Chain A
Amino acid sequence: MTAFFPFDLSSSSAFYVIVYIVTFALHQAFMHYVLAGTWFIACVTAFRGGPLGVNSDHRVLDTLRDWLPFALSAAITAGVAPLLFVQVLYQHAFYTANLLLWWRFALIVPTLIVAFYLLYLIKSQMFQRWPRSLQAIISAFTASLFTFTGFCWTANHLVGINQAAWTEVYLSGHLPFSAATILLRMLIWIAGSFCTMPVIAAWQVSNRLDDSTDHNQYVRPLARMAIIGQTVSLLAAMIYLSQCDGAARKSLLSIAFLPYFVFALVGSGLFLGAWIIAWKHQVLQLRNLISMTIGLVLNLFAVSAYREGLRVHLLDIRPLADKHAALADEHGFFVFIFASIIVTVLIVWCIRLVQPHTGSAHIHEETGATRDSGD
């Protein structure tokens, strides 16, 4: 593979890759919030704050409990688009993976139904009156359900890209990857979810803070999660890369992926820099929030591009170029664009309609002043 974009693909195939990556990144954002959010609740409940220094009535905890059901609904809805475009792009490979996994993959549906209702339970006042140990068990179980869902999707992905193993998978039922491979991949995105969730939570919480609030109790726990998450995710990614086969590793380290490496580098720098500054100053400033958000978006895009680049390399979808060109000629694209514009306007309008009723303070503006260190 020589071209950095579109991965030596035809313009039609590249177009669908872009659409897939963009919609997948949107789905990831919500999914990360849900996954990291439920683990955060579970850990805080189980360890009474523990290493994060978060007590049970912490505003981040309340915010997560409050918004997780909506976030899951958003994750599932946002996931429909990449599910659609992955079929357009990979056709046979995606369908074969589904057929081979069958009920082992279809388990995600009842899993998510149960997890969804557990999120509503966790949100309820009744739940918060239950013994702490029971709350911790239920929260951890819920988080496990989301982790299992992610495992199923990871397995689906890994089966799909391993064409040579399909007949053996069919006959034996054994999945064609090692525990180490799947654990590393899961570690990349689980740790990554602890990058996304703190950013979203920071926007949510800072929106309701004012000058009288002790920002430190919110900033440091979120910063800790984000910095550790980013570091672990990057380390896991490097180890995973070192374990890829030679041709794939050569491709990922080639000039073709240089732009995405730069995105990841810049994104990580912005992300970590913003959180370190927030840690030091113990305040969530608008400038930092914007910086960490841009960093997060760049990282999400870079990781998605690497993921897709690896899949495109392994599956070689260039023979599908004519098919993708024919599909791109199917009418309806402008209906989609038109509907997207109208829907976006209406979504913004809905939010603006309820905004006067959401209550609480504006985002803390940049003051230039620092606060005394609490640590």
Chain B
Amino acid sequence: MAGVAIVHVFLAQFAVGGGILLCYFQWLATTNGQPLARKFVAGYFKLLVLISFVVGALTGVAIWLTAIQVSPATIGSMVDHFHWLWATEWTFFCLEIVSGYCFYRYYARLDDRTAMTLLAIYSAASWLSLFVINGILSWQLTPGRWLETHHLFDGFFNPSFWPSLLFRTVVAMTLASLVACVVINTMDSVDREARTSLINRASLLLIPMASMPVLGAWFLAVMPPDSRSWVLGGSPAMMLFLSISIGSSMAIGLYAIVGLVVQRLYINGATASLLLLLAFGATAGGEFVREGSRKPFTVREVLYSNSIRPDEIARLREVGCVTDDPYGLRNDSQFPNDQVRVGAKVFRRQCSVCHTVEGTNALSDLTGAWDADQMRINFAKLQHTKPFMPPFAGTATEVEALVQFISWATAERPGEWPVHEEPATIAKIDEWLREAGTAPGDYAQNRKRRPQ
């Protein structure tokens, strides 16, 4: 899902920024401020149609399909609350493609005023679609007052809505400008001086990058404190991706503002492509951080990453998380006993959305140095083991079953495996579960305990 989302966000933001850029160039054409503006607009829009209208649109659908695979409860919750705004976004998509194709098809025959009108409509429609989806996505991290009021617009215009929208708009303009630098370099019939002039014009859309540090800081400031702590050091992976994003953006920004805007340098196709690749890296890093910083939730205080609601934890601690699971296990005969089977089901229910058994983010690796007792206490007190993990949502018996399943898998899945059902062990796990409670982990609890 991450891969699909990153590609889609990159292309969609390119489309949004492309509209803004082309409005500017069409204005230049209208005012005769740039003799090659029309030629550039025609070539650039063709690229927009061939890439963004195709791969951009279809990766958007792909996000939906992959999001269903990862967490249908999350996408279902978003659809439940925001379907009318999502339908509104759909109307903007319709306007985008009609205005876009009208422009693409008839541009050569249009007068400047008509061309400008179509571009303005296209640009407005694409930005409005960003406006809508930004509200829905940012709600996941910072639902804000929606948690009390459940009013649509409290959720939509949530604390991170504005910094996120403005940041994405700046990113959109940046991507469009960098693509323009690449496109201009493909205009072989145009001499270098003319290409330099076009590049200088296109690079003006890189100036807003100067606001990124402020917008980024604003976004960090409105993040929930624990989410902020993950990206600022609490999670090495997230901090790494944030660093990649910031570093790439800085490299682009410095080159853009100092080199292209101030010194009005020429940039060749290779350099422009490299900057675009850096921008892709920055986008990828940023999206990873945005998604990861929601942990342990997918919708803050509404739904955990494993699609279990906070208000379900207590009940599942009593009845078990797999008691009513109607689905059997594939390759059932490989499991040596029913306890390991239950453990496999618990893994499937609570862990598999983020972890594998043996592979990426594998539990067999993460628990490789833990003995059985370590696993028992860490699973029972999961939200305290790592505060970006959700509380364990099952019985003590299910904790033990999970321990046995992971141990068995780590031992390379032998054909026989003893059943561990010592009442004292189960009682101890139960005690740990009660000590842990059902609330999410508090990353600052030890700081709060320090004597003043």
Residues in A lying within 8 Å of B, measured CB to CB: 70, 73-74, 76-81, 83-85, 87-88, 91, 95, 98-99, 102, 105-106, 109, 112-113, 116-117, 120, 166-167, 170-171, 327, 330-333, 335-336, 339-340, 343, 346-347, 349-351, 353-354, 357-358
The answer to whether B121 and A76 touch across the interface, beta carbons within 8 angstroms, is no
Say whether B326 contacts A351, CB under 8 Å: no
6 example contacts (A-B, Cβ-Cβ < 8 A) are as follows A70-B97, A79-B61, A170-B327, A332-B152, A347-B95, A354-B106
> Are A85 and B152 neighbours in the complex by a CB distance under 8 Å?
no
Give the docked Cα–Cα distance between A278 and B183 (Å).
Answer: 50
Q: Which listed residue, A98, A120, A339, touches B50 by the CB 8 Å rule?
A: A120
- Is A99's CB under 8 angstroms from B69's CB? yes
How far, in whole Å, are A99 and B114 apart by their CA atoms in the complex? Answer: 47
Set of chain B residues within 8 Å of A354, measured between Cβ atoms: 102, 105-106, 110, 114, 118
Identity of the chain A residue whose Cβ is nearest the Cβ of B95 in the assembled complex: A343
**When the two chains form the complex, which single residue of B50, B58, B152 contacts A76, counting CB atoms closer than 8 Å?**
B58
Binds A, one of B83-91, B211-219, B264-272: B83-91
User: In whole angstroms, how far apart are the Cα atoms of A336 and B117 in the complex?
Assistant: 24
Given contacts A73-B53, A331-B84, A354-B102, are A339 and B68 in contact (CB under 8 A)?
no
Residues of B within 8 A of A351 (CB): 98, 102
How far is B166's CA from A122's CA once the two chains are assembled, in angstroms? Answer: 40
Contact (A87, B94) CB under 8 Å given A95-B68, A332-B82, A336-B88: no
A83 with B64: CB separation less than 8 A: yes
A120–B47 Cα distance when bound, in Å, is 13
B92 at the interface (CB under 8 A from A): yes
Contact pattern, B 46-57, Cβ under 8 Å of A = 1, otherwise 0: 000010011101
Render B1-14 as a binary contact track against A, CB cut-off 8 A, 1 for contact.
00000000000000
Check if B327 sits within 8 Å of A347, measured CB to CB.
Answer: no
Q: Does A343 contact B92, Cβ atoms closer than 8 Å?
A: yes
**Contact: B88 with A106, CB < 8 Å?**
no
Residues of A within 8 A of B92 (CB): 339, 343
- Closest chain A CB from B423 CB (angstroms): 33
- Alpha-carbon separation in the docked complex, A372 to B61 (Å): 51
Q: Determine whether the beta carbon of B84 is less than 8 Å from that of A80.
A: no
Expressed in whole angstroms, the minimum distance between the Cβ of A82 and any Cβ of chain B is 10
Q: For the complex, what is the distance from the CA of A91 to the CA of B59, rounded to whole Å?
A: 22
Chain B: minimal CB distance from A338 (Å): 8
Q: For the complex, what is the distance from the CA of A336 to the CA of B325, rounded to whole Å? A: 39
Which residue numbers of B lie inside 8 Å of A, CB to CB? 50, 53-55, 57-59, 61-62, 64-66, 68-69, 72, 75-76, 79-88, 90-95, 97-99, 101-102, 105-106, 109-110, 114, 117-118, 121, 125, 151-153, 326-328, 330
CA–CA, A354 and B117, complex, Å: 11
Q: Are B58 and A330 in contact (CB under 8 A)?
A: no
Asked whether B80 lies within 8 Å of A327 as measured between CB atoms, the reply is yes
Residues from chain A with Cβ under 8 Å of B57 in the complex: 73, 76-77
A171 and B66 form a contact (CB under 8 A): no
B97 touches A74 (CB 8 A): yes
- Is B101 a contact partner of A81 (Cβ separation < 8 A)? no
Residues of chain B within 8 A (CB-CB) of A87 are 75-76, 79, 83
**CB <8 Å contact, B61 and A171:** no
Please state if B79 and A102 are interface contacts (CB–CB under 8 Å): no
- Chain A's closest residue to B62 (CB) is A109
A88-B83, A331-B152, A343-B92 given; name 6 further pairs at CB < 8 Å: A79-B61, A85-B87, A95-B72, A106-B65, A106-B66, A330-B84
Q: In the complex where A95-B72, A332-B82 touch, is A171 in contact with B330 (Cβ < 8 A)? A: yes
| Bound-state Cα–Cα, A335 to B153, Å | 11
B75→A81 contact, CB < 8 A: no
Chain A contacts for B76, CB-based, 8 A: 87, 91, 95
**Chain A's nearest CB lies how many Å from the CB of B30?**
15
Chain A residues positioned under 8 Å from B151 (CB to CB): 331
A292 to B58, CA, bound (A): 33
Residue on A nearest B110 in the bound complex, by CB: A357
Give the Cβ gap from A172 to chain B, nearest Cβ, in Å: 9
Decide: A353 and B61 in contact? CB cutoff 8 A: no
Contact check, A339 vs B93: say whether CB atoms are below 8 A apart. Answer: no
- A339 in contact with B88 given A98-B72, A106-B65, A353-B117 (CB within 8 Å): yes
Chain A residue with Cβ nearest B128: A339
B102 contacts across to A, CB distance below 8 A: 350-351, 353-354
- CB–CB A346/B54 < 8 A: no
Q: Is B101 touching A78 in the complex (CB atoms < 8 A)?
A: no
- Measured in the bound complex, the distance between the Cα atoms of B62 and A109 in whole Å is 6
What residues of A have a CB within 8 angstroms of the CB of B94 in the complex? Answer: 77-78, 343, 347
Smallest distance from the beta carbon of B443 to chain A beta carbons, Å?
Answer: 32
Task: Answer whether A330 and B152 are a contact pair too, CB < 8 Å, given A73-B57, A99-B69.
Answer: yes
User: Whole-angstrom distance between the alpha carbons of A120 and B174 in the complex?
Assistant: 28
> Chain B residues near A79 (CB, 8 Å)?
61
B58:A109 contact, CB within 8 angstroms? yes
Q: What is the CB-to-nearest-CB distance from B334 to chain A, in angstroms, rounded to a whole number?
A: 13
